Amino acid sequence: MSDFTSEFWTWYISIITVVSILACGVFLWKLTTRKLAPGEKPGTMGHVWDENLEEYNNPLPNWWRWLFYITIVFSLIYLVLYPGLGSFSGTLGWSSVDQYEIEMAAADEQFGPIFAKYAAMEIPAVAADPQGLKIGENLYLNYCAQCHASDARGSRGFPNLTDNAWQYGGEPETIKLTLLNGRQGIMPPMAAALPGEGVKDVAHYVMSLSGMTHDNLRKTRGADLFQSNCAVCHGADGTGNKMLGAPNLTDDVWLYGRSESAIIETIVNGRNNVMPAWGEFLGEDKVHILSAYVWSLSNQ
């Protein structure tokens, strides 16, 4: 909205809004004030159903008409009291941001001591506390389940949090660091560096690392290509690098699928995954409790 800072837009929106509301009132008045002359029958709208069921042009009942007038008056009063006319903030000065901050301040006053209590404990100790674990579960279901699923087993492109395969490490403080600051994992596209059959050869070498069925000839050709192009991130033995977030290719955990086509797709197009940072939004105390819950998922 930074492009629309001119006062013109405030007047533009305000005039259209107010004129539209007043026009509804005038339109309603014009259609409901005409009275039939003595002996005059109301005309029909020309609509007939079931042979003889006609729609007549009768005025609205008074209770219905006045209900419309009340809604028009209500809308005008609302626009004076609350924001709705461009940049006009309303005479009450209400805003959704202020309302949110008031509610959050009240919640922090009520629940802050509880969060602070658990923030002073070690993450494994929080995970061992039933109430702390329940709070962490509620935080997880509100903020993490959309990506990692309610059972925390993830889905295509979103890691399973219940196993022991951690790209950046599954230690309590590492998990907390991930939640606080987020992560961005980038796998560059490698098609240009692996011309010809190189992509498929490397794919079969990678498949062999985790014991998948593969072509031995392609595996042999792909081994040297892997060492010269992939080992710098995934390690010479393919076990990955947690400092970089490079996955272990020797286990049976595949974020985007373990088929030949899925592996080739990853090599050709690369991957760019983003784990959002929650530190600023949730605060460190809540992240500490959430970290305990996430850690507990793979450390029963």
pLDDT digits over 250-275, tens only?
A: 999 999 999 999 999 999 999 999 99
Residues 46 and 126 in one domain: no
Average pLDDT, the chain: 92
pLDDT at 168 over 90: yes
Q: Which amino acid is at 110?
A: Q
For residue 4, name the pLDDT band (cuts at 50, 70, 90): low
Evaluate whether residue 93 is within a structural domain.
no
Instruction: Provide the pLDDT for residue 194.
Output: 94
Statement to judge: residues 290 and 152 lie in one domain: yes
- Assess if residue 215 is contained within a domain: yes
Mind listing the pLDDT tens digit for each residue in 199-227? 999 999 999 999 999 999 999 999 999 99
Q: Is residue 97 part of a domain?
A: no
Q: What is the pLDDT of residue 3?
A: 55
Q: Quick one: pLDDT at residue 217?
A: 96
268 with 208, same domain?
yes
Q: In this structure, what token pair is assigned to residue 213?
A: 């069925």
Give 269-284 pLDDT, tens digit per residue: 999 999 999 999 999 9
Pairing of strands 44-49, 271-275: unpaired
Nearest partner of 182 among 264, 245, 224, judged by Cα: 245
In this prediction, residue 55 carries a pLDDT of 83
Q: Is 263 exposed, middle or buried (0-12, 13-18, 19+ CB in 10 A)?
A: buried
So what's the pLDDT on residue 49? 85
User: Where in the sequence is the domain holding 119, given as residue range(s)?
Assistant: 103-182+276-297
Co-location of 175 and 243 in the same domain: no
Helices (H), 84-153: 96-119, 123-127, 130-143, 145-148
Pick from 142, 120, 155: which is nearest to 289 by CA?
120
The pLDDT score that the predictor gives to residue 300 is 76
Q: 283 and 265, same structural domain?
A: no
**pLDDT mean over 68-89:** 93
